[in-house]
Chain A
């Protein structure tokens, strides 16, 4: 009897710890990967060659996003597969690079790398450093909430635009079909 009574809370505690640990692991991975990515990105700019952050990585850094007003910064990875997004924001396939004609789309998790997105206000300056070292400054000019499959983004539009995308609502616990988009337009390159 006593044993059983003791065992249940211990089991619960272990299960709780494991679950909690998994949650922490996701955040830890997101944080740590950024440190490695930061180094790889610096190396990329310095050498001009793509540098993978770790040897078996399926992706590599392509740009740095900075919002100086709120002190936010993240290294963007090539591709937006689930595996890439665990480590950093992803450059959505088939959208142009930052600084090019069209709409560049970067996407990241709302609870890790793009947590800061909710704090970005219209008028904020967003700085993008590309892996070739070129810098571009965008100005946030609006936000919208769309369904993931009806983003309304035409990557070939005439302007020089940037869209940062993350899941919406920000505080939801499960993933849904809605995405929060922050639109920005190039002001300086």
Chain B
């Protein structure tokens, strides 16, 4: 027994020694980690010493998804949105959208409100109406500078005024001057948009959130960071000149959402018997008054504005109509909108050309969460679709960049496996420096090789502010490469995606959820693998036509040609010619059979403006010429553009400053023509009465009794998750360490016993 005890005490001594040794190692490990972390920060430290790095926080454009900021003497106060209503009417090929938002000034001061909101990139904004208290203000189109002056004069004079400006083709700003304390503001914007068609599926999209964008810091301030990217240091201009107008605010849409209740109604008149009607991201209730009409509402009445709303519909017939022709007479001109889907030609005779596919994946911080999962799944699906004779490469980027292989490699099992594990290991963090990645992807090491197709598949959420730089890069370097943009996440920057795909002569695919990855990627690969329709030309037999787009893009499988034209007379026919793969294709449409459509002139003007913007980007016409053309079109067709704004000034003088408004200025007292039921749909979601009026709610009750009580959504703050797994990890780590200690001890004992 004593001997045994002795050996045990020896063991205890040994144990102590081992514990000491292990503790030493643990401390070493911690020290290494700490030093590494400090180094990470220290190496980039000079950047933030630069002055005026970012826009000041009190800038109006710091807004999130259409949130309203109130300007007071102390800066801006964030006002809570009380309700959003989106009402869409689809008439055949076009969508007329009316977006109404209700805000309240919660302060006791007279304020100016600035409000930033997303709209669809193809949309033509032509109407602004605003009710401030009991005033209806209807906007007029003016040159941007002029509008600004009018607005500022009115503001100085104490009159109520409203201004709608375009920040990006898909981001707009409203400013409202002189809102009294406790007053409620109604903002209504209307826009026109074409229906999107792909194969036999039609769709529309309502962006509900301006996702935060990454604006690269001006080069001069961060040269030390990008010393390895040659050429970057040469320019001293800020890549995001208007950063103060679109400076992002980072937020988690899931946390942010529930306080932005949105109701959506779609009146769908497709013009043909409808089959399946689907809303992939929102639960909806669908009524079917007749076979060609549907009324779609959100099932829960309201949803948080944390993702884009999408609606798709298919015809009841097996195949969608492959031709659509619509006309509108405005002024002394006829406007025509044509949809033509080229037939699908299987390339049976010849094997498809071998391809070189460059996959680019964005693993920046904005891709965190499900976006990166979708992007990875999409890329891995893409890899699996490669043929053995194809070549490929993978590039990943955040504010840094990695190219997997020095040059494109053949798509054999080894390389695919290597790429798959590379992709699987990616994690979302860091900034979004998209331009260097696009440059790398477009760098063609085998140019002029006409026996292979070079395709760039670019997976991103596109949340950057320096779009123009990206466009210039694509224009300058595209060569024979085709750029296919894959938009990831619930609210990608659609403007960037569509324009980049257009400039890169590819196509844009959006993947909004993990479930869509396979379906959408299969669609994309059908485009990549099948011959495109090229060399498209349009000829009108007797009418002289101004066509938009002026240069017809190549079409990929299932894409329709969408053509808008302004005609002097609606006579004769239009002939469309092109080549599908290597076979010629012609179709002739008689104009007399065109159906009446609505808002086509505005769509035509919007496309002409978009054409001019592209020509400006690609330097085909001088900036001055482009601006002149855009201005003329915008003023004639009453559209908000980069150069024109809607401005409204109240003619009656405003209330004397400082006088609090009375209770009668409630949203219930809406002026004639602003029917509350219509604004908020048949199931009214009356905004909660403002706080300071709650005390006097008794007279309100009677008025409100007729309406069902609103869903209380904006009332409560959703609190974020506030626990880390640090302690859990540390405890698990300690347990493992203890286990290893025990094991090595038993080992030792056994060895000693032997």
Contacts and interface: CB of A to CB of B under 8 A. Distances in A.
A20 B747 contact: no
B107 to A, nearest CB: 6
Contact of A28 (B33, B55, B107): B33
A27 B57 CA distance: 28
Interface string B717-754: 11111111111111111111111110110010000000
A116 interface: no
Contacts of B24: none
Instruction: Name the residue among A11, A94, A105, A107 with the largest chain B CB count within 10 angstroms.
Output: A94
A26 B724 contact: yes
Contacts of A5: 743, 747
Contact of A50 (B34, B44, B55, B250): B55
A119 interface: no
B29 interface: yes
Contacts, number: 276
Interface string A146-181: 101111111111100000011100001111100100
Contacts of B26: 17, 20
Contact of A13 (B47, B53, B737): B737
B723 A172 contact: yes
B469 interface: no
A40 B717 contact: no
Nearest to B59: A50
Interface in B98-138: 104, 106-108
Given A96-B78, A150-B716, A153-B717, A26 B722 contact: no
A108 B721 CA distance: 8
Nearest to A158: B691
A9 B429 CA distance: 34
Given A16-B734, A155-B80, A111 B41 contact: no
Nearest to A12: B740
A81 B58 CA distance: 20
B661 to A, nearest CB: 16
A110 interface: yes
A187 interface: no
A19 B725 CA distance: 10
A81 B251 contact: yes
B632 interface: no
B252 interface: yes
B719 A148 contact: yes
Interface string A56-99: 10111010000000000000001111111110001011111100
Contacts of B22: 13
Interface in A38-54: 39-40, 43, 47-54
A149 B718 contact: yes
Nearest to B259: A94
Chain B, interface residues (CB within 8 Å), range: 35 or more
B578 to A, nearest CB: 46
A21 interface: yes
A110 to B, nearest CB: 6
B698 interface: no
A28 B737 contact: no
A21 B30 contact: yes
Given A12-B737, A81-B252, A23 B728 contact: yes
B629 to A, nearest CB: 38
Interface string B313-329: 00000000000000000
A26 B720 contact: no
B447 to A, nearest CB: 34
A58 B250 contact: yes
Nearest to A50: B57
Contacts of A36: 41, 48
A86 B721 CA distance: 11
A92 B257 CA distance: 12
Interface in B242-271: 249-252, 255-256, 258-260
Given A32-B41, A150-B716, A131 B57 contact: yes
B456 to A, nearest CB: 25
A18 interface: yes
Interface in B38-96: 38, 41, 44-45, 47-48, 51-58, 64, 67, 74-75, 77-78, 80
B34 A28 contact: yes
A139 interface: no
Nearest to B733: A20
Contacts of B249: 78-79
A32 B222 CA distance: 22
B368 interface: yes
Contacts of A60: 54, 57
A148 B715 CA distance: 13
Given A101-B108, A158-B691, A174-B723, A16 B735 contact: yes
A47 B250 CA distance: 22
Interface string B222-251: 100100000000000000000000000111
A131 B26 CA distance: 40
A111 B48 contact: no
Contact of B53 (A22, A49, A100): A49
B743 A8 contact: yes
A101 B106 contact: yes
Contact of B716 (A9, A80, A151, A175): A151
B504 interface: no
B250 A83 contact: yes
A122 interface: no
B568 interface: no
B732 A19 contact: yes
Contact of A49 (B56, B221, B368): B56
Contact of A81 (B25, B38, B250, B399): B250
A165 B740 CA distance: 39
A134 B41 CA distance: 29
A55 B743 contact: no
A154 B733 contact: no
Contact of A94 (B30, B221, B256, B729): B256
Given A52-B48, A83-B250, A166-B722, A12 B717 contact: no
Nearest to B46: A55
A148 B744 CA distance: 46
Contacts of B731: 23, 173
B719 A55 contact: no
A53 B740 contact: no
Contacts of B259: 93-94, 155
B719 A49 contact: no
Given A9-B747, A12-B743, A21-B33, A114 B722 contact: yes
B431 interface: yes
A17 B429 CA distance: 24
Instruction: Name the residue among B26, B51, B57 with the largest chain A CB count within 10 angstroms.
Output: B57
A137 interface: no
Contact of B720 (A6, A47, A92): A92
B717 A155 contact: yes
B301 interface: no
Contacts of B67: 94
A110 B48 contact: no
B401 to A, nearest CB: 14
B108 A16 contact: no
A142 to B, nearest CB: 17
A21 B57 CA distance: 36
Given A80-B252, A148-B718, A173-B727, A9 B106 contact: no
B726 to A, nearest CB: 4
Closest 7 CB pairs of A and B: A20-B733, A16-B736, A23-B730, A19-B733, A12-B740, A23-B729, A55-B47
Given A18-B733, A151-B716, 6 more contacts: A13-B25, A49-B51, A55-B47, A56-B399, A78-B249, A80-B255
14 contacts: A6-B747, A11-B740, A12-B736, A13-B741, A16-B732, A19-B730, A22-B726, A25-B33, A29-B37, A43-B48, A49-B53, A58-B250, A94-B259, A179-B722
Interface of A: 5-6, 8-13, 15-29, 32, 36, 39-40, 43, 47-56, 58-60, 62, 78-86, 90, 92-97, 100-103, 105, 107-112, 114, 131-132, 134, 146, 148-158, 165-167, 172-176, 179
